[in-house]
Every structure is written in C-alpha cells, then in structure tokens.
Amino acid sequence: MTLLDYVVNPERLRTLLADESSLDFDLIDRVSRRLGSPAAEPLLDAYAAAEQRAVRRKLHDRVSVIGPGIGDQVVLRLTGTPWYVQRNMLTLLASMPTWPDGFSPEPWARHDDPRVRREAYRLLFRLPDKRSSALTAALADPDEGIERLALAVATEGCPPSMGPRLEGVAIDPERSPEMRALAIRALGGLRRPETLPILIEASQVKGGFLRRARLHEKGPELLAALGVLAQYWAEDDEASVALALAGKSDDPQIRAAIRRRGGKE
C-alpha cells in the first residue's frame, strides 16, 4: 500500500462530501476516479442526503454513471429514511435501465409526501402491467403536480376508463388552460362520442343570428382541440367548420395545429 492509498480512501471522500455548501467537485472527481468502485457508497450517501437541487444534480450525474450495480444499495435506502432521501433514491432508480429483482415502486406511490409519490409514479408509468392503474390513481391524486404528470403521460395513450375523468378536467373552469389542454390531447385517442362536443366547444364560438361562427381566441385549449379534431374527427360535419376556420386563419400556430395532426390547410 502506497502513501497515496492512505490519503485516498473512502473516508477521505466522505470528508470531502461532508459540507454541502463547499463541495470541490474537481477534487471529489479525482479522488473518486482513484478509488474506483469503493467510491460508490460515499457518493450514494451524499446524494441521498443532498438538500440543494444543484448539488443533487451534480451528485446524480456522478452516481448514475456507476451503473445498475448499485441498485440494491439504492433500494435499501428507501426504507426508514427521510422523505427527501426516498425521493432522491427513486430519482436515481429512474435513471437506471433495470431495477433490482423484486423491487416495486407501488408502496411509494402511497407515500404521505407528494414529492415522493411523484417520483414513484414516474417509475410506475414505465411498467406496462402497471401503467394503466398508475395513470388512474395519479389522475385522482390531490397533488396538482402529480395530476399534471399523469395528464402528460396520458397524451401518449391511456385506458378507456379514464375518459370521463379526462372530460371532467377538460371542461373544469377551475383548471389552468394548460391542464385542460393536456386532458383534451389525452382524450383524442379514446375517440369517445362524448368528447366531440367538448372539442367543438373548446375551439369554436358558434354564430348566432346573422353572425358567423368563429374560433376562440388562441390559447392552449384551442390549439389542442384543433389538433385532436384534425387527427380524429376531420370527416365530421361539425368539426369541419372549426377546421376550415383554422385553415383560413392568419395565425401560423393555428394553421400548424391542424397540419401537425394530419389536417389539411
């Protein structure tokens, strides 16, 4: 054993990682490279306890390159630890291509802290046999961030049973325009007859006596509704009115909304 081996050891690395406010990542990297695999545990402990987002990001980059071989150590830190450690460990698992045998994120989707639940749902959405049930549960979660995450994932495909819930979000005036737009996009692929009136309402102001129909003012809901109409209801008579108006619009975003989804200008 050389003198350098006495200086460069896991405890030395722990000392360098001890004060989150003054981390010297150049030195940490040099010591970690010298240590090799024994650097994994001190880095993982520091990452688990990191409170500052910038520090977590830097430690995440360093821990994630170690590979899935640390998966068992990560899972061990999910039990009996503070919420932020559990969140950090779930985030780290999300960066791994595989997880330890027998691990399931489901218990953490029921955690008291929404920040932990959010990371658990991200993992569940990756599991084909859990995706549908996880979407349904996440969409009913009281945390708006989790609901928004579920809506974004649902735009890539969701079970038909979510239709009524999505329609409720799409017409809810208490939701933000962005949330309603996500719900509209998620509804498209379900092709529910009940959805068409919602899309027409979101895109078109119907004309009254001696007044022509016109589009709503541009916003997330209008663009989402036009895109779904163009992709799934282009042949419908009611939809064709809104699509024709969009095709003649002077606004390039409105015209692009129907073009991207397969409509024609």
* pLDDT tens, residue by residue, 63-120: 887 777 888 989 999 999 999 989 989 999 998 888 999 999 999 999 999 999 999 9
pLDDT score, position 145: 96
For all residues of the chain together, what is the average pLDDT?
90
Calculate mean pLDDT across residues 111-139.
96
Q: Where are the alpha helices (DSSP H) in the chain?
A: 3-7, 10-17, 25-35, 40-49, 53-64, 71-76, 83-94, 114-124, 131-139, 144-154, 163-170, 177-188, 195-203, 220-232, 237-247, 252-260
Q: How far is CA 104 from the centre of its chain?
A: 19
Radius of gyration of the chain (CA): 25
pLDDT reported for residue 7 = 67
Report which of 123, 55, 53, 52 is spatially closest to residue 92, judged by C-alpha positions: 123
- pLDDT of 211 reads 66
Q: What is the pLDDT of residue 252?
A: 95
Question: Three-state DSSP class for 205?
Answer: strand
pLDDT at 185 exceeding the cut of 70: yes
Domain residue ranges of the chain, discontinuous segments joined by +:
1-98, 106-154, 161-265
Q: Which residue has the higher pLDDT, 56 or 125?
A: 125
Average pLDDT for 188-209: 88
Residue 56 token pair: 């977590």
Report pTM: 0.82
- Given a cut of 70, whether residue 9 has pLDDT beyond it is yes
Weakest mean pLDDT among 62-66, 82-86, 198-202, 209-213: 209-213
Residue 141 tokens, joined: 């979660």
> Tell me, what amino acid is at 66?
I
Residue 216: name the closest of 181, 164, 166 by CA.
Answer: 181
Token reading at 42: 């001190």
Tokens 């027998």, residue?
A: 102
Which pLDDT score is estimated for 264?
43
- The reported pLDDT for the residue numbered 1 is 45
Q: Sorting pLDDT into bands at 50, 70 and 90, what band is 14?
A: very high
